[in-house]
């Protein structure tokens, strides 16, 4: 039986380094938080974290090998992800100037619904082939095959909750009143910059390879 605490420490550290690095997940939570307020940012964060359970599930079921070894399956995933993130980018580029009085933080009347914000976060993470390969590799390289599946599932639950916690912190940080007030002055330009960032991420995914 492997040392489960040592194994968990390695998994948690690898995940921490990955989730803290800038990527589409960070970009979408940041945009949702700045553009639509804290509630949208938190629900988007919940979607991102919940999508991790999807990656963990197919890794535990042994389906990850299909993505890892099949160029065709990987291509379907990467082009779907690239198309979705490119769509987010185009939506951001179309952003129009806001009226400061219409964008008070936490206002229930503004921005996407809870379900829409959750779905945006979920799809951004779920359709990212680089995230898929990360979790497949994580379970192959750091998790001993003798580790009980229930324990491995526990690793997945931890990573999901840690991800939600991290991005909720990002959302809360960037929806402080003074931060949002400054954002609203030039919000549509920041949105457009984020659109360019999303398009760059989409191009990166489109040219990603299994190698």
pLDDT digits (tens, 9 = 90+) for 170-211: 999 988 877 766 666 665 666 777 778 778 877 877 776 655
Contact 197, 86 (CB under 8 A): no
pLDDT at 109: 44
More confident residue, 117 or 204: 117
Confidence bin at 110 (pLDDT 50/70/90): low
Question: Does 38 score more than 60 pLDDT?
Answer: yes
Q: What is the pLDDT of residues 18-31, one digit of tens each?
A: 898 888 999 999 98
Quick one: pLDDT at residue 77? Answer: 73
pLDDT at 105: 42
**pLDDT reported for residue 9:** 94
Which of 35-44, 84-93, 137-146, 158-167 has the weakest average pLDDT? 84-93
pLDDT of residue 65: 67
Q: Residue ranges per domain, the chain?
A: 24-206
Positive or negative CA dihedral for 158, 123, 70, 208? Answer: negative
* The overall pTM is greater than 0.85: no
pLDDT-derived band at 67 (thresholds 50, 70, 90) equals low
| List of residues 6+ apart from 44 with CB closer than 8 A | 28, 29, 32, 33, 117, 118, 120, 121, 167, 171
Q: Which two tokens stand for residue 139?
A: 């379970």
- Check whether 168 has a pLDDT greater than 70: yes
Interval 55-75 mean pLDDT: 76
**Burial status of residue 37 (CB atoms within 10 A of its CB: 0-12, 13-18, 19 or more):** buried
Cα–Cα distance measured from residue 141 to residue 79, given in angstroms and rounded to the nearest whole number: 26
Q: What angle do CA 11, 17, 20 make, to 5 degrees?
A: 130
Check residue 108 and give its pLDDT: 43
The pLDDT score that the predictor gives to residue 196 is 82
Q: Is the pLDDT score of 56 beyond 80?
A: yes
Q: Please tell me the distance from the alpha carbon of residue 141 to that of residue 4, in angstroms, as a whole number.
A: 14
């Amino acid at each position: 039986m492997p040392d489960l605490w040592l194994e968990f420490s390695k998994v948690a550290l690898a995940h921490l380094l990955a989730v803290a690095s800038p990527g589409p997940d960070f970009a979408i939570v940041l945009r949702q938080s700045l553009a639509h307020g804290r509630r949208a940012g938190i629900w988007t964060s919940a979607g991102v974290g919940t999508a991790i359970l999807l990656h963990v599930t197919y890794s535990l079921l042994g389906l990850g090998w299909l993505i890892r070894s099949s160029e065709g399956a990987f291509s379907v995933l990467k082009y779907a992800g690239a198309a979705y993130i490119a769509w987010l980018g185009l939506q951001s580029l179309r952003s129009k100037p806001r009226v400061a009085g219409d964008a008070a933080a936490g206002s229930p009347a503004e921005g996407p619904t809870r379900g829409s914000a959750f779905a945006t976060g979920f799809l951004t993470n779920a359709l990212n082939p680089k995230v898929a390969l990360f979790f497949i590799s994580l379970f192959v390289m750091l998790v001993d095959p003798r580790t009980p599946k229930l324990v491995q599932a526990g690793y997945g639950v931890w990573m999901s909750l840690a991800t939600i916690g991290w991005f909720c912190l990002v959302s809360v940080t960037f929806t402080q009143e003074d931060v949002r007030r400054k954002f609203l002055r030039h919000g549509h330009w920041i949105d457009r910059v984020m659109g360019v960032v999303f398009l760059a991420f989409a191009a990166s995914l489109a040219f990603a390879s299994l190698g």
